[in-house]
Amino acid sequence: MSQPKKRDSWGSRLGIIMAVAGSAVGLGNFLRFPAKAATNGGGAFMIPYFISLLLLGIPLMWIEWTLGRFGGGFEHGTAPGIFHSVWQKNRFIKYFGVIGIFGPLVIFIYYIYIESWTLAYSFFALFGKYSHLADQATMHSFLKGFQGLEHNQYFNGIGWAYLFFIITFILNIWRILVDQGYDSGYS
């Protein structure tokens, strides 16, 4: 008879807090915050930002954390399982929990797309593709061409963007599998 698989657990409370805080910050804040702050006078933007953080961000983070811990007590690690644990009388609620799987999948793809830009831009910098871009307008045109927003002398389509997206996707999946121990044949 085989032993039940031991569930993963956090090594420390600080690790949990840092992971939750990191996911709460999100890439949207990282990419949009400086532009919004500069456009709206900096300090004025901080007032609704902190109000939203206090009234929405922190309470939603606590709710998500509490639901996860509650569902974990029933050996459920997915949103459908957690929803089923919380609302046992409603047999359809677990299907609503699929949103909890679909949402992170969409976010994962979005992050990979942004990562692929970084990989591509690093590749282009390494091979000197930026050396002839003398001003902001030509750089802007180069980036728009890469993203498939326009056809220009630098790019004829979105093929390069797809190539770097696929490479980045494969690297991310490989990294996840390595972290889960699938590369050594044990699980």
Question: pTM of this prediction?
Answer: 0.59
The residue assigned the tokens 């690093």 is: 122
Tell me which of 186 and 138 has the higher pLDDT. Answer: 138
User: Amino acid identity of 138?
Assistant: T
149-159: average pLDDT? 87
The residue assigned the tokens 């606590």 is: 62
Reference 23, options 11, 15, 35, 33; nearest CA is 15
Asked if pLDDT for residue 67 goes beyond 90, the answer is no
Asked if pLDDT for residue 163 goes beyond 90, the answer is yes
The predicted structure's pLDDT at residue 170: 95
Q: What's the token pair of residue 76?
A: 């459920």
DSSP states of 92-134: THHHHTTHHHHHHHHHHHHHHHHHHHHHHHHHHHHTTTTTT--
Reference 71, options 3, 2, 7, 4; nearest CA is 7
pLDDT in tens, 72-102: 777 777 778 888 777 777 777 777 778 777 8
